[in-house]
C-alpha cells in the first residue's frame, strides 16, 4: 500500500471530521489519566492524573459545543464550571494529602487504606 494514499485518506478523514483530532487528543489524555490514576502509588501523581481526566472532559465539552452547537455557550460554561470545581477539588485533595503526609511522612496510597469495611 502506498504511504501517500494512507496520508491522503487521513487528511480526507480529518477534513470530513474536523472534530476528530481534538477528540483523539482528549481520548489519549483521558486514558493517560486513567492509567496514571491506577498505576501511580503517589497520591500527588494520582491527583495529577485526575486533572488529566478532567481536562480531557473539558476539551470534549468545548469541542462538542464549538462544532455541534456553534450558536450556544453551554459547553463553554460547563467547562469553565468544571475548571472551577477541579480547582476546589485539588485544593481539598492537596489538603488531605498534606495531612496524610504529616501523619505518616509518606504520601503512598498504601498509607491511606484504613477506609475499608
Q: Which residues contact other proteins (rule: CB under 8 A)?
A: 34, 37-39, 46, 109-110, 112-117
Residue closer to other proteins by CB (options 5, 117) is: 117
Residue closer to other proteins by CB (options 36, 75) is: 36
43 in Cβ contact with 112 (< 8 Å): yes
Minimum CB–partner distance for residue 53 and other proteins (Å): 11
For 85, other C-beta atoms within 10 Å of its C-beta total: 11
Residue closer to other proteins by CB (options 15, 110) is: 110
For 51, other C-beta atoms within 10 Å of its C-beta total: 18
φ and ψ of 42, to 5 deg: -95, 130
Amino acid at each position: 500500500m502506498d504511504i501517500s494514499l494512507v496520508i491522503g485518506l487521513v487528511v480526507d478523514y480529518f477534513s470530513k471530521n474536523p472534530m476528530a483530532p481534538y477528540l483523539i487528543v482528549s481520548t489519549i489524555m483521558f486514558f493517560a489519566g486513567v492509567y496514571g490514576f491506577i498505576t501511580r502509588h503517589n497520591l500527588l501523581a494520582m491527583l495529577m492524573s485526575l486533572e488529566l481526566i478532567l481536562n480531557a472532559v473539558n476539551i470534549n465539552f468545548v469541542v462538542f459545543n464549538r462544532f455541534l452547537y456553534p450558536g450556544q455557550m453551554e459547553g463553554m460554561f460547563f467547562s469553565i464550571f468544571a475548571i472551577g470545581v477541579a480547582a476546589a477539588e485539588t485544593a481539598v485533595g492537596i489538603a488531605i494529602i498534606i495531612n496524610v503526609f504529616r501523619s505518616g511522612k509518606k504520601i503512598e496510597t498504601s498509607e491511606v487504606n484504613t477506609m475499608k469495611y
